[in-house]
Protein backbone atom coordinates (compact mmCIF):
# COMPACT_ATOMS: atom_id res chain seq x y z
CA UNK A 1 0.00 0.00 0.00
CA UNK A 2 1.18 3.54 -0.59
CA UNK A 3 0.19 7.19 -0.68
CA UNK A 4 1.54 10.46 -2.03
CA UNK A 5 0.32 13.99 -1.54
CA UNK A 6 1.66 16.85 -3.62
CA UNK A 7 1.12 20.47 -2.64
CA UNK A 8 1.31 22.94 -5.52
CA UNK A 9 3.79 25.08 -3.60
CA UNK A 10 7.57 25.10 -3.77
CA UNK A 11 10.64 27.28 -3.99
CA UNK A 12 9.03 29.82 -6.31
CA UNK A 13 6.48 30.61 -3.61
CA UNK A 14 8.98 31.42 -0.84
CA UNK A 15 10.56 34.85 -0.27
CA UNK A 16 13.73 35.24 -2.31
CA UNK A 17 15.45 36.68 0.74
CA UNK A 18 14.83 33.43 2.66
CA UNK A 19 15.80 30.66 0.22
CA UNK A 20 15.08 27.20 1.55
CA UNK A 21 11.94 28.14 3.51
CA UNK A 22 9.72 25.76 1.49
CA UNK A 23 12.23 22.93 1.99
CA UNK A 24 12.50 23.75 5.70
CA UNK A 25 8.71 23.63 6.00
CA UNK A 26 8.78 20.15 4.45
CA UNK A 27 11.25 19.03 7.13
CA UNK A 28 9.23 20.49 9.99
CA UNK A 29 6.06 18.57 9.10
CA UNK A 30 7.77 15.30 10.04
CA UNK A 31 8.32 16.46 13.63
CA UNK A 32 4.95 15.82 15.21
CA UNK A 33 1.32 16.90 15.01
CA UNK A 34 -1.31 17.71 17.59
CA UNK A 35 -2.86 14.26 17.19
CA UNK A 36 0.53 12.48 17.19
CA UNK A 37 2.91 14.79 19.07
CA UNK A 38 5.91 12.46 19.36
CA UNK A 39 8.54 13.67 16.87
CA UNK A 40 9.38 10.23 15.52
CA UNK A 41 5.89 8.70 15.56
CA UNK A 42 5.19 8.86 11.83
CA UNK A 43 8.54 7.45 10.73
CA UNK A 44 8.49 4.77 13.46
CA UNK A 45 5.05 3.59 12.39
CA UNK A 46 5.98 3.47 8.70
CA UNK A 47 9.33 1.72 9.20
CA UNK A 48 7.91 -0.58 11.87
CA UNK A 49 5.44 -1.98 9.37
CA UNK A 50 7.70 -2.65 6.43
CA UNK A 51 7.55 0.73 4.77
CA UNK A 52 9.56 3.81 3.93
CA UNK A 53 8.76 7.49 3.62
CA UNK A 54 10.23 10.56 2.01
CA UNK A 55 9.48 14.02 0.66
CA UNK A 56 10.84 16.37 -1.97
CA UNK A 57 10.59 20.11 -2.61
CA UNK A 58 10.75 21.43 -6.16
CA UNK A 59 10.23 24.82 -7.78
CA UNK A 60 6.44 24.55 -7.94
CA UNK A 61 5.51 21.60 -5.73
CA UNK A 62 6.30 19.76 -2.52
CA UNK A 63 5.51 16.05 -2.52
CA UNK A 64 5.23 13.73 0.48
CA UNK A 65 5.05 9.96 0.05
CA UNK A 66 5.19 6.60 1.82
CA UNK A 67 4.65 2.91 1.27
CA UNK A 68 3.73 0.35 3.93
CA UNK A 69 2.42 -3.18 4.49
CA UNK A 70 -1.22 -3.16 3.27
CA UNK A 71 -2.63 -4.09 6.69
CA UNK A 72 -1.38 -0.80 8.14
CA UNK A 73 -2.48 1.70 5.50
CA UNK A 74 -5.21 3.29 7.63
CA UNK A 75 -2.86 3.79 10.58
CA UNK A 76 -0.30 5.38 8.29
CA UNK A 77 -2.93 7.70 6.83
CA UNK A 78 -4.05 8.63 10.35
CA UNK A 79 -0.57 10.00 10.96
CA UNK A 80 0.18 11.28 7.46
CA UNK A 81 -3.02 13.29 7.11
CA UNK A 82 -2.21 15.30 10.22
CA UNK A 83 0.77 16.88 8.43
CA UNK A 84 -1.82 18.89 6.53
CA UNK A 85 -4.31 19.42 9.37
CA UNK A 86 -2.42 20.48 12.49
CA UNK A 87 1.39 20.13 12.57
CA UNK A 88 3.15 21.29 15.73
CA UNK A 89 6.11 23.22 14.28
CA UNK A 90 7.92 22.62 17.57
CA UNK A 91 10.08 25.67 18.23
CA UNK A 92 12.79 23.67 20.01
CA UNK A 93 13.34 21.65 16.82
CA UNK A 94 14.11 24.65 14.60
CA UNK A 95 17.88 24.79 15.06
CA UNK A 96 18.22 21.02 14.72
CA UNK A 97 16.28 21.00 11.46
CA UNK A 98 18.28 23.94 10.12
CA UNK A 99 21.35 21.78 10.67
CA UNK A 100 19.66 18.86 8.89
CA UNK A 101 18.83 21.05 5.87
CA UNK A 102 22.35 22.47 5.88
CA UNK A 103 23.87 18.98 5.99
CA UNK A 104 21.68 17.86 3.09
CA UNK A 105 22.67 20.95 1.11
CA UNK A 106 26.40 20.29 1.68
CA UNK A 107 26.12 16.59 0.91
CA UNK A 108 24.30 17.06 -2.40
CA UNK A 109 25.79 20.28 -3.71
CA UNK A 110 27.98 18.44 -6.21
CA UNK A 111 25.15 16.29 -7.62
CA UNK A 112 24.92 16.59 -11.41
CA UNK A 113 21.32 17.78 -11.24
CA UNK A 114 22.16 20.53 -8.80
CA UNK A 115 25.16 21.62 -10.86
CA UNK A 116 22.94 21.84 -13.94
CA UNK A 117 20.39 23.90 -12.01
CA UNK A 118 23.13 26.23 -10.74
CA UNK A 119 24.31 26.72 -14.33
CA UNK A 120 20.75 27.60 -15.38
CA UNK A 121 20.53 30.19 -12.61
CA UNK A 122 23.52 32.06 -14.05
CA UNK A 123 21.07 33.43 -16.61
CA UNK A 124 18.13 33.81 -14.22
CA UNK A 125 16.20 37.06 -14.36
CA UNK A 126 16.60 38.80 -10.96
CA UNK A 127 13.08 40.20 -11.35
CA UNK A 128 11.63 36.67 -11.47
CA UNK A 129 11.19 34.46 -8.36
CA UNK A 130 13.40 31.68 -9.80
CA UNK A 131 16.29 31.11 -7.39
CA UNK A 132 18.42 28.50 -5.65
CA UNK A 133 16.25 27.26 -2.82
CA UNK A 134 17.63 24.15 -1.15
CA UNK A 135 18.48 26.25 1.90
CA UNK A 136 21.39 26.13 4.33
CA UNK A 137 22.35 27.54 7.72
CA UNK A 138 23.30 30.88 6.20
CA UNK A 139 20.00 31.45 4.37
CA UNK A 140 17.73 30.05 7.10
CA UNK A 141 19.45 31.10 10.33
CA UNK A 142 22.27 33.60 9.95
CA UNK A 143 20.85 36.05 7.42
CA UNK A 144 17.27 36.11 8.81
CA UNK A 145 18.67 36.60 12.32
CA UNK A 146 20.80 39.53 11.14
CA UNK A 147 17.60 41.16 9.82
CA UNK A 148 15.64 40.43 12.99
CA UNK A 149 13.44 37.86 11.23
CA UNK A 150 12.04 34.96 13.26
CA UNK A 151 12.35 31.77 11.18
CA UNK A 152 9.89 29.88 13.36
CA UNK A 153 7.18 32.49 12.80
CA UNK A 154 8.08 32.69 9.10
CA UNK A 155 7.70 28.95 8.47
CA UNK A 156 4.33 28.86 10.24
CA UNK A 157 3.16 31.80 8.17
CA UNK A 158 4.41 30.13 4.97
CA UNK A 159 2.51 26.94 5.83
CA UNK A 160 -0.73 28.69 6.77
CA UNK A 161 -0.60 30.91 3.70
CA UNK A 162 0.24 28.21 1.16
CA UNK A 163 -0.81 24.75 2.33
CA UNK A 164 -4.33 24.84 0.96
CA UNK A 165 -6.43 21.75 0.17
CA UNK A 166 -7.42 23.32 -3.16
CA UNK A 167 -3.78 23.09 -4.25
CA UNK A 168 -3.22 19.50 -3.08
CA UNK A 169 -3.39 16.25 -5.02
CA UNK A 170 -3.58 12.98 -3.12
CA UNK A 171 -3.08 9.48 -4.48
CA UNK A 172 -3.69 6.38 -2.34
CA UNK A 173 -3.02 2.77 -3.29
CA UNK A 174 -4.46 -0.07 -1.20
CA UNK A 175 -6.13 -3.43 -1.51
CA UNK A 176 -9.44 -2.12 -0.21
CA UNK A 177 -12.30 -1.50 -2.64
CA UNK A 178 -12.47 1.92 -4.24
CA UNK A 179 -15.53 2.97 -2.19
CA UNK A 180 -13.76 1.93 1.01
CA UNK A 181 -10.57 3.79 0.05
CA UNK A 182 -12.67 6.88 -0.71
CA UNK A 183 -14.25 6.62 2.74
CA UNK A 184 -10.86 6.19 4.43
CA UNK A 185 -9.50 9.27 2.66
CA UNK A 186 -12.52 11.46 3.34
CA UNK A 187 -12.52 10.56 7.03
CA UNK A 188 -8.88 11.60 7.41
CA UNK A 189 -8.41 14.48 5.00
CA UNK A 190 -11.73 16.33 5.18
CA UNK A 191 -10.31 18.66 7.84
CA UNK A 192 -7.43 19.87 5.67
CA UNK A 193 -8.17 23.61 5.43
CA UNK A 194 -9.23 25.34 2.25
CA UNK A 195 -7.89 28.85 2.62
CA UNK A 196 -9.15 30.23 -0.68
CA UNK A 197 -5.62 31.47 -1.38
CA UNK A 198 -4.60 29.66 -4.55
CA UNK A 199 -0.94 29.17 -5.39
CA UNK A 200 0.53 30.87 -8.43
CA UNK A 201 1.09 28.51 -11.34
CA UNK A 202 3.03 28.54 -14.58
CA UNK A 203 3.62 31.91 -16.18
CA UNK A 204 1.84 33.66 -13.31
CA UNK A 205 5.18 33.49 -11.48
CA UNK A 206 7.01 36.73 -12.14
CA UNK A 207 4.14 38.27 -14.09
CA UNK A 208 5.51 39.66 -17.37
CA UNK A 209 9.09 38.91 -16.36
CA UNK A 210 10.70 35.83 -18.00
CA UNK A 211 12.48 33.35 -15.74
CA UNK A 212 15.61 33.44 -17.91
CA UNK A 213 17.09 36.65 -19.27
CA UNK A 214 16.84 36.90 -23.07
CA UNK A 215 20.06 36.52 -25.01
CA UNK A 216 21.63 39.83 -25.91
CA UNK A 217 21.07 40.82 -29.51
CA UNK A 218 23.83 41.83 -31.88
Residue 26 a catalytic site member = yes
Say how many residues make up the chain: 218
- For residue 65, what are the β-bridge partners? 4, 54
DSSP secondary structure code for residue 110 in this structure: T
C-alpha span between 169 and 4 (Å, rounded) = 8
Q: Which of 26, 86, 176, 209 is catalytic?
A: 26
Segment holding 21, helix H or strand E? helix 21-28
Please measure the distance between the N-terminal and C-terminal CA atoms of the chain and give it in whole angstroms.
Answer: 58
C-alpha span between 4 and 64 (Å, rounded) = 6
Q: Catalytic residue numbers?
A: 26
Amino acid sequence: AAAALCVGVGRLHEPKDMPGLAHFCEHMLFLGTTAFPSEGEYKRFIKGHGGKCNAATGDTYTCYMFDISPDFLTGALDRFSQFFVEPLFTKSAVDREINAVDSEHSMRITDDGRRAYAALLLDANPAHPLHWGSGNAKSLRDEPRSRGVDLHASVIDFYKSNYNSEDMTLCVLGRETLPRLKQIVEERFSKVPATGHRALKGDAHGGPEPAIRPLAQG
